[in-house]
Structure 1
Amino acid sequence: MPAHVAAPYFETWTGESPAALAAESGNKYLTMAFLETDAAGSCTAYWNGDTTQPISKAAFGSDIAAIQARGGNVIPSFGGWTADTTGTELADSCTSVDAIASVYESLVTTYGITRIDLDVEGDSINNAAGIDRRNKAIAKVERWAERTGRSVQFSYTLPTSNTGLEANGVALLQNAVDNGARVDVVNIMTFDYWDGATHDMAADTQTAAAGLHDQLAALYPKKSSAKLWSMIGVTEMPGIDDYGPEETFTTQDAVTVENWAVAKGIDTLSFWALQRDNGGCPGTGGSDSCSGIAQDTWYFSHTFEPFMRGVSVS
């Protein structure tokens, strides 16, 4: 993966082609959401928990290959709100660390990807057994990658307050440290604060990331400040988020955040989700298919893309 990557989430359940939308929007990288089991207790992961979409080249293989042929890649993501609240997040569902690790490894060998994202929220972020299994599996996969000459990174996507992770998010990362699991990126979801306040979303992205930086400094005391910033990612929700108009990420907020991300040298800029990057439903909050604000189609994609090249926008 590049040192700075813009990789919006792609909703894999829509039936759309990730390669086609990546090309239309100008994105070289996508985070593909989500992988989960079809039922609690299973150790088999499917795209969207749909048993007709296993981890197989028959499911998204040609799309992923097309994205890679254009010099990009995808980041498969496990979890998400639905899986994390129904027991179908892989490490919550499966009690075998070896089986969890095998699923992660199968993504690398099947699709040629080099980063796996773990979206842990809802019930999953308080599931101590699942957290421990997941981190043990990460460590196991990292040892496998080292033995076999592969490159595999892991990112954790976690909910945040506007001052940093809650205690359960810090505990999850502490467990990773305790298990010898290398976490390459901590990607905070800087939206859906749900605290009743009206938010300046760009400013709160910056304070949330600053808080995370300090939390990472306590977890990784040997890392420099620059290295800690290079472990950070932020995921925005363009337009009106699930809470409502009090939490609206504007087009100008996107410019502010992109410039800040370049200056700080963070790792990842993302947003939820690519299919929302259009102005088709002004005034509608929390839609899966439009931002709820007036905007040009692909505005947020085009604004975040220069981050890949370390270029600020105006």
Structure 2
Amino acid sequence: MPDHVAAPYFEAWTGESPAALAAASGNKYLTMAFLQTEAPGSCTAYWNGQPAQPIAKSTFGKDIATIQARGGNVIPSFGGYSADTTNTELADSCTDVDAIAKVYESLVTTYGVSRIDLDIEADSINNTAGIDRRNKAIAKVQRWAERTGRSVEFSYTLPTTTTGLAPNGVALLQNAVDNGARVDVVNIMTFDYYDGATHDMAEDTKTAATGLHAQLAALHPKKNPAKLWKTIGVTEMPGIDDFGPAETFTTDNAVTVKKWAAARGINTLSFWALQRDNGNCVGTGGANNCSGIAQDTWYFSHAFKSFTRR
């Protein structure tokens, strides 16, 4: 992965081609959401929790290879709100750490990816047993990667307040430290604050990331402050988020955040989600297929894509 990468989320359940939308939008990198189990108790992960979509080259393999051939890559993502509230997030569902690790490894060997994202929110961020299993599995995969000469990064995508992670997010990262699991990127979702306030979403991104930086410094006191910034990611929700108009990420906000992210040197700049990057439903909040604001199609993709650099 590049040292600084723009990688918007792609909603993998829509039936669309990630390679086609990546080309149309000008994105070289995508975060593909989501992988989860079909039912609680299972240790088998599928794309969208659907047995017809296993981790196999027959599922998205051609698309991923096409994206890689263009010089990009995808970041498979586990969890998400739906899985995190139905006990089908892999480490919540599966109680076998070795089996969890094998699923992560299978993504690397099947698709040739080099980063795995873990979107942990809602019930999952309070599931201490699942958190511990997940971090133990991460550590196992990292030891496997070292033995086999592979490069595998892990990112955690977590909810945030406007001033940093809530205590349960910090506890998740502390557990990673305790288990010897390296978290390469902590990616905060800078939207859906649900605090009843009217937000300047760009400014709140800055304060949330600054708060996270301080929290990471406390967890890793020996790390250089500049290097800590290189382990931070932010994910925006273009337009009107799930809360409503008081939390609207505007086109001007996108320009501000991209400039700030480049100057600060964070690792990842993302948004939820690629299929929302159009202005086809002005006034609608929280839609899966449009931003709810007046914008050119692919505006946010074009605003963020120059962030990617080695």
TM-score, reference length from structure 2:
1.00
Residue 102 of structure 1 corresponds to which residue in structure 2?
Answer: 102
Q: Deviations over 1:206-249 (max 9, x none)?
A: 00000000000000011111000000000000000000000000
Residue 281 of structure 1 corresponds to which residue in structure 2?
Answer: 281
Determine the C-alpha separation between the residues in 2 that align with 1:309 and 1:283.
34
1:147 partnered with 2:147: yes
1:24 partnered with 2:3: no
Secondary structure at the aligned position of 1:222 is classed as coil
Determine the C-alpha separation between the residues in 2 that align with 1:222 and 1:58.
44
Determine the C-alpha separation between the residues in 1 that align with 2:277 and 2:225.
33
Determine the C-alpha separation between the residues in 1 that align with 2:31 and 2:134.
19
Matches within 5 A, 1:53-68: 53-68=53-68
One-letter amino acid of the structure 2 residue matched with residue 70 of structure 1: R
Determine the C-alpha separation between the residues in 2 that align with 1:92 and 1:164.
25
Q: CA deviation at 1:298?
A: 0.3
Determine the C-alpha separation between the residues in 2 that align with 1:56 and 1:308.
28
Structure 2: gaps (5+ residues): none
One-letter amino acid of the structure 2 residue matched with residue 154 of structure 1: F
Matches within 5 A, 1:83-232: 83-232=83-232
Residue 82 of structure 2 corresponds to which residue in structure 1?
Answer: 82
Secondary structure at the aligned position of 1:306 is classed as helix
Determine the C-alpha separation between the residues in 2 that align with 1:221 and 1:300.
35
Secondary structure at the aligned position of 2:20 is classed as helix
Q: CA deviation at 1:184?
A: 0.1
Determine the C-alpha separation between the residues in 2 that align with 1:101 and 1:21.
30
One-letter amino acid of the structure 1 residue matched with residue 70 of structure 2: R
Determine the C-alpha separation between the residues in 2 that align with 1:12 and 1:76.
10
1:304 partnered with 2:304: yes
Is the 2:2–2:309 Cα contact (8 Å) retained in structure 1?
A: no
Determine the C-alpha separation between the residues in 1 that align with 2:136 and 2:61.
28
What is the number of residues matched between the two proteins? 310
Determine the C-alpha separation between the residues in 1 that align with 2:16 and 2:292.
21
Residue 15 of structure 2 corresponds to which residue in structure 1?
Answer: 15
Q: CA deviation at 1:36?
A: 0.1
Determine the C-alpha separation between the residues in 2 that align with 1:128 and 1:34.
21
Secondary structure at the aligned position of 1:104 is classed as helix
One-letter amino acid of the structure 1 residue matched with residue 77 of structure 2: S
Quote the sequence identity (%). 81
Determine the C-alpha separation between the residues in 2 that align with 1:266 and 1:300.
18
Q: CA deviation at 1:309?
A: 3.5
Residue 46 of structure 1 corresponds to which residue in structure 2?
Answer: 46
Secondary structure at the aligned position of 1:14 is classed as coil
1:247 partnered with 2:247: yes
One-letter amino acid of the structure 1 residue matched with residue 272 of structure 2: W
Residue 294 of structure 2 corresponds to which residue in structure 1?
Answer: 294
One-letter amino acid of the structure 2 residue matched with residue 30 of structure 1: L
Residue 4 of structure 2 corresponds to which residue in structure 1?
Answer: 4
Secondary structure at the aligned position of 2:214 is classed as helix
Determine the C-alpha separation between the residues in 2 that align with 1:131 and 1:306.
34
Determine the C-alpha separation between the residues in 1 that align with 2:172 and 2:255.
31
Secondary structure at the aligned position of 1:74 is classed as strand
Q: Deviations over 1:264-305 (max 9, x none)?
A: 000000000000000000000000000000000000000001
Determine the C-alpha separation between the residues in 2 that align with 1:185 and 1:73.
16
Is the 2:160–2:188 Cα contact (8 Å) retained in structure 1?
A: yes
Determine the C-alpha separation between the residues in 2 that align with 1:66 and 1:219.
39
One-letter amino acid of the structure 1 residue matched with residue 227 of structure 2: K
Q: CA deviation at 1:255?
A: 0.2
Determine the C-alpha separation between the residues in 2 that align with 1:91 and 1:240.
31
Secondary structure at the aligned position of 2:155 is classed as strand
Structure 1: gaps (5+ residues): none
Secondary structure at the aligned position of 1:13 is classed as coil
One-letter amino acid of the structure 2 residue matched with residue 53 of structure 1: Q
One-letter amino acid of the structure 2 residue matched with residue 297 of structure 1: T
Determine the C-alpha separation between the residues in 2 that align with 1:251 and 1:50.
35
One-letter amino acid of the structure 2 residue matched with residue 183 of structure 1: V
Is the 2:3–2:309 Cα contact (8 Å) retained in structure 1?
A: no
Secondary structure at the aligned position of 1:186 is classed as strand
One-letter amino acid of the structure 1 residue matched with residue 233 of structure 2: G
Determine the C-alpha separation between the residues in 1 that align with 2:195 and 2:103.
36
Secondary structure at the aligned position of 2:13 is classed as helix
TM-score, reference length from structure 1:
0.98
Residue 264 of structure 1 corresponds to which residue in structure 2?
Answer: 264
